[in-house]
Amino acid sequence: MHEHDNILLTEAVERYISGEMTPDERLHFENLRKADSEIDQMVVTHTLFMQRMNRYNEWQKFHASLNEIHTDLATQGTIDSPARKGKARLAYLYNRYKRVASIAASIAGLTALLVSAILWSVTPKSHNAQIETLSKKFSSLENKSRKQAEEINSLKNSHTPDPKTPEITYSSRGTSFMIDSKGLLVTNAHVIQNATNVAVASNTGTEYFAEVVYTDPVRDIALLKITDKDFKPLPPVPYGFSRKMADLAEPVFTMGYPREDEEIAYTQGYLSAKTGFNGDTLSCQIQISANRGNSGSPILNNEGDVIGILNGRQKDQEGVAFFIRSKNLYNILNEVKGKGKTDTTIQSVKLNTKSSIISLNRTQQAKKIQDYVFMVKVS
Amino acid sequence: MKETVLEQEILLLKGLARNDKKSTEEIYKQHYNLIQALVVNNNGTADDARDIFQEAMVVLFEKARSGTFELNCQIKTYLYSVAKRLWLKKLQQQSRFTEEWNDAGSLVRVDDDLEAHEQKDQDYNLMHHSIQHLGEPCKSLLEAFYFKKKSMQEIAEAFGYTNSENAKTQKYKCLMRLKKIFFSQYKK
């Protein structure tokens, strides 16, 4: 079904559930339900979901008023609850002022962005400025301050029940993919530079906290490890990692998160030169439509082998992009392991050399790969 | 005399069902100390008491909202029975036992209500978890529409979409993602 139809249908279902339909509409809709079991199924699950969501909202509001009442009555001495002290008071104050603190933090972040924007605008443009790195910066400041205004407005009746997960506003993003299904990912170093918080999100939208365990700005490679306790290891990675140099004109494809709606996107192209920008031998040139947010995406060949990591495009030429060859990843892992004293996840990682999706067609390959490609969010 | 107490309680429950602050406060005022005594006298702290009382209030809230509250007992008896069961369960979970149960209040059967509450509580936590994992701007967008009941036009302006059609498309996508996260756990 077309997306537009789905939107209309969802809207209709919601009006049906909340009883906003006119009797005529209702009758028509009920006939539709009877005639189409798919629609009927959708009404059933959506009703269940909306119920859960509404109750969630009601409980949240109720919890908020209970807490407010408790504090009031305890201060008045109407109930015998002891006034908060020590840790409990701290937690209370933390909850109370958390919003303010996060707004203050994002204002500080804005200032930092502004300062760096000013610095950037006066820095003489070097030769390298012709290459654009593809990490996506959320630049609409106006938008941001509007949101803040909204946050300030809702400050009074806001209620955030889980003090363990303070909200983080991520300001920039890119793509990463698994090199080890236990939670080790690779991305570009420029994606996570200056990061204080890093999170990755799967193609289903589940977000996990992660940390940077290695970064090499020269080769533009960084390794991330998922630290979130909610994360469960995936089955072994389906793609292999190929040391080989790809041939000219060899078809390649990639998956990543260049889109504003954070939906995973597939795109394909071909190898157009065996060296990167200005003869850089670490990387290769491909003809592919890469966009901001694609930084850190895997570049795969027909066999389902990762031949490199997408890291930039040439500003003045449409469709020209560059990737860092997988060979560099092998080198980095060897160097890191040789040094010892590193993260145990890196010590134990062994890159998969045999693609398990070699005999699949492209659609099936993409389906297998998408679970291993994560969005990187940085703040 | 009894008639008026009953009437008062019905009014309080109707208010509670609307999340009317005055009614909630009245119930809180009348019954908190009793429940706190129950918890504190049985190996609990004042913080435990607060948690248990508020959870019992949620059970009562749901009961009042569903309209199935049969006044065969007073609010006090109901809250006390629920709180006692909740506290016993918590003690068991933490392997803390109270040697001698110091019991003062009368009790009614609340098994069915507690069973229903447990399921609702799980759903609540799952929804909370799903929304927390949704990420921005989806989280704020859905909250603005479904919880704060903002119009699509207002949302488009607040989030910087060019028109309400775009905001609607975005909202739809966010909702689909939230459903996907929720249902991936729900069936288990």
Distances from the Cα of A202 to the Cαs of A164, A166, A199, A371, in angstroms? Answer: 22, 20, 10, 7
Tell me the one-letter amino acid at A90.
L
Statement: residue A80 has pLDDT above 80: no
User: Is residue B58 one of the residues assigned to a domain?
Assistant: yes
* B35 and B92 both lie in a single domain: yes
How far, in Å, CA of B22 to CA of B29, rounded?
10
Sort strands A305-314 and A240-241 into parallel, antiparallel or unpaired. Answer: parallel
Structural domain of B173: 133-186
Which residues, in sequence order, are CB contacts of A318 under 8 Å at separation 6+? none
Percent of chain A with pLDDT over 90: 14
Same domain, B31 and B95: yes
> What domains can you pick out in chain A, each with its CATH number?
3-65 (no CATH), 105-379 (2.40.10.120)
> Does residue B49 belong to any structural domain of this protein?
yes
Mean pLDDT of A338-363: 81
Burial of A250 (0-12, 13-18, 19+ CB in 10 A): middle
Does the distance separating the beta carbons of B29 and A78 come in below 8 Å?
yes
H runs (alpha helix) in chain B: 2-17, 21-41, 46-66, 75-93, 111-132, 138-142, 152-159, 164-186
Q: How many C-beta atoms lie closer than 10 Å to residue A324's C-beta? A: 26
pLDDT 10s digits, A221-264:
999 999 888 888 888 899 999 988 888 888 899 999 888 778 89
Residue A307 has pLDDT above 90, yes or no: yes
ipTM score of complex: 0.87
Q: Domains in chain B: how many in total?
A: 2
pLDDT, one tens digit for every residue, chain B (188 residues):
455 777 788 888 888 888 888 888 888 988 898 888 888 888 888 888 989 999 999 998 988 888 766 666 788 888 888 898 898 888 887 766 655 566 666 677 778 788 888 888 888 988 998 888 888 888 888 988 988 888 888 888 888 888 888 888 888 989 988 988 888 887 65
**For residues A194 and A214, what is the distance between their CA atoms, to the nearest angstrom?**
14
Same domain, B29 and B102: yes
Q: For residues B41 and B87, state if they share a domain.
A: yes
- Mutation site, A99, A148, A206, interface B, largest B CB count within 10 A: A206
Between CA A338 and CA A223, with CA A378 as vertex, the angle to 5 degrees is: 15
If one counts every other C-beta atom within 10 angstroms of the C-beta of residue A22, the result is 9
Structure tokens at B36: 């706190």
- Taken in order B125, A166, B139, A198, is the CA torsion positive or negative? negative
Band (A101; pLDDT cuts 50, 70, 90):
low
User: Residues near A12 by Cβ (< 8 Å), separated by ≥ 6?
Assistant: A21, A29
Residue B116 lies in a domain: no
User: What SS3 class is residue A293?
Assistant: coil
Residues B72 and B24 in one domain: yes
Q: Are residues B11 and B60 in the same domain?
A: yes
Return residues 235-274 of A near B (CB < 8 Å). Answer: 261-263
B114: in domain: no
Both B10 and B54 in one domain: the answer is yes
Whether the per-residue pLDDT at A19 is higher than 70: the answer is: yes
CATH number of the structural domain spanning residue B83: 1.10.1740
Same domain for B91 and B16: yes
Judged by CB atoms closer than 8 Å, whether chains meet at B170 and A261 is answered as yes
Q: Are residues B104 and B168 in the same domain?
A: no
Note whether A73 contacts B: Cβ–Cβ < 8 A: yes
* Residue B167 is assigned to a structural domain of this protein: yes
